[in-house]
C-alpha cells in the first residue's frame, strides 16, 4: 500500500532520529485532507437581531416620513379650510375648493383698484363669493378681497391655524425622513444579503476576495468583551492587512472563529460561551 506522498509522485523520505515534525515537511495530500477535515464548510448570514433592528429603523423612518407629509399636505390644510368655512357667513354646506398656489405672496400681488374680473381671470374663480366679497383658500390660509363695483378696494391674507411656515416645516421634515428611509432601505438590502463562508479555500466575506487559511497570521480578541469583535490579521498583496469580524454582524460568529483556530492550531481567544449561547455553538 502506497503512502499518500507516493500517490502524489513523491518518494517517502527516511526520517532521521530526533528530527522534528516540522523539519520532515508535510505531504500535500495529507495536509489538504487534514485541512478539509478541520475546516468543515460554514455558511452564515447576519444575526436576527441586526435584521430586526434594521427593519425596525427603516419602517419607523418611512412611517414618520408619511406621517409628516400627510400633516403638511393633507391634515393641516384641511383643518385650515374647515375652520375658514365655519367662519363664513353665510356658511356653505360643502368645503370650498383649495388652491395650493394661493398664499401670502398672492395677496401682496393684488393691487388696489385692480379689476375684479382680471383678478378672477388670473387666480381662477373664488372658492366663496358673497356680494362684493370674494375669498380664495390656500393651504396656509385664505385671501379675502373686497371689490365694490368690480374694483379691488381691499385685499388681505388671513393666516390659518397652521400657517404656511408650519406646513412647510412638516414637508421639510417628511422629506428628510424620506431620504433617511431610502438610505436605510438600501442598508436593509445589504444586511439581508450578508454572507460569510468559511471552507477549505479560506474565509469569504460577501463579494470580497477569499482570505486563505495560510494567509492568516493571528486573531486579536482584545476588543471582544468591549465591542464584540475580533481582528483577523492576514497577508494580502505582500502586505499585512486586518479584517474585523463582528459577532453582531455574523450569525455563526463563534463557530467560524473556532474553526479558524482549529485549522491554524491556535487556541481560541473567545471566552467560553454562556449557557444561553449553546444553540449558537451547535
Mean pLDDT value of segment 221-238: 94
Instruction: State the pLDDT confidence band at 31, using cuts at 50, 70 and 90.
Output: very low
DSSP codes of every residue in 173-242: HHHHHHHHHHHHHHHHHHHHT--EEEETTEEEETTSPPB-GGGEEEEE-TTHHHHSEEEEEEEETTEEEE
| Backbone dihedral region for residue 147 (phi beyond 0: left; psi -120 to 50: alpha; all else: beta) | beta
Residue 225 CA to residue 239 CA, distance in Å, equals: 28
Q: Indicate the pairing of strand 239-246 with strand 229-236.
A: antiparallel
Decide: 112 and 149 in contact? Cβ < 8 Å: no
Interacting residues of 226 by C-beta distance below 8 A, sequence separation 6+: none
Predicted confidence at residue 275, as pLDDT, reads: 64
> What is the pLDDT averaged over residues 165-169?
97
Residues 6 or more apart in contact with residue 138 via CB below 8 angstroms: 77, 98, 99, 100, 101, 102, 103, 106, 164
Cis amide leading into 193 (omega within 30): no
Total residues belonging to the chain: 282
pTM score, whole prediction: 0.74
Average pLDDT over residues 151-179: 97
Residue 26: predicted pLDDT: 43
Identify the residue with better confidence: 19 or 79.
79
CB 267 within 8 A of CB 42: no
Residue 39 binned pLDDT confidence (cut-offs 50, 70, 90): low
- Look at residue 9 in the predicted model and tell me its pLDDT: 37
Average pLDDT over residues 135-153: 97
Which residues are 141's β-sheet partners? Answer: 159
Could you name the CATH architecture of 195-282? Roll (2.30)
Q: Domain extents for the chain?
A: 56-168, 195-282
**Rounded mean pLDDT of 130-137?**
97
Query: Does residue 201 carry a pLDDT above 70?
Result: yes
Amino acid at each position: 500500500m502506497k503512502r499518500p506522498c507516493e500517490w502524489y509522485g513523491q518518494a517517502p523520505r527516511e526520517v532521521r532520529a530526533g528530527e522534528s515534525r516540522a523539519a520532515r515537511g508535510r505531504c500535500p495530500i495529507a495536509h489538504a485532507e487534514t485541512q478539509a477535515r478541520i475546516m468543515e464548510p460554514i455558511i452564515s448570514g447576519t444575526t436576527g437581531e441586526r435584521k430586526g433592528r434594521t427593519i425596525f429603523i427603516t419602517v419607523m423612518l418611512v412611517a414618520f416620513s408619511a406621517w409628516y407629509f400627510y400633516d403638511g399636505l393633507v391634515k393641516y390644510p384641511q383643518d385650515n379650510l374647515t375652520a375658514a368655512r365655519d367662519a363664513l357667513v353665510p356658511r356653505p354646506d360643502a368645503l370650498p375648493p383649495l388652491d395650493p398656489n394661493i398664499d401670502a405672496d398672492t395677496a401682496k400681488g393684488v393691487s388696489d383698484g385692480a379689476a375684479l374680473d382680471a383678478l378672477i381671470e388670473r387666480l381662477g374663480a373664488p372658492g366663496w363669493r358673497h356680494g362684493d366679497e370674494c375669498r380664495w383658500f390656500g393651504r396656509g390660509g385664505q385671501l379675502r378681497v373686497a371689490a365694490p363695483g368690480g374694483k379691488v378696494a381691499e385685499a388681505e391674507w388671513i393666516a390659518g391655524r397652521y400657517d404656511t411656515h408650519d406646513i412647510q416645516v412638516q414637508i421639510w421634515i417628511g422629506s428628510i425622513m424620506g431620504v433617511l428611509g431610502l438610505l436605510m432601505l438600501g442598508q436593509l438590502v445589504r444586511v439581508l444579503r450578508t454572507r460569510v463562508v468559511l471552507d477549505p479555500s479560506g474565509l469569504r466575506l460577501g463579494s470580497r476576495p477569499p482570505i486563505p487559511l495560510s494567509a492568516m497570521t493571528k486573531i486579536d480578541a482584545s476588543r471582544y468583551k468591549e465591542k464584540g469583535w475580533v481582528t483577523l490579521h492576514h497577508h494580502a498583496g505582500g502586505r499585512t492587512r486586518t479584517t474585523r469580524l463582528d459577532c453582531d454582524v455574523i450569525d455563526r460568529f463563534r463557530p467560524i472563529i473556532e474553526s479558524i483556530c482549529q485549522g491554524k492550531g491556535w487556541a481560541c481567544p473567545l471566552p467560553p460561551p454562556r449557557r444561553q449561547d449553546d444553540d449558537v455553538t451547535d
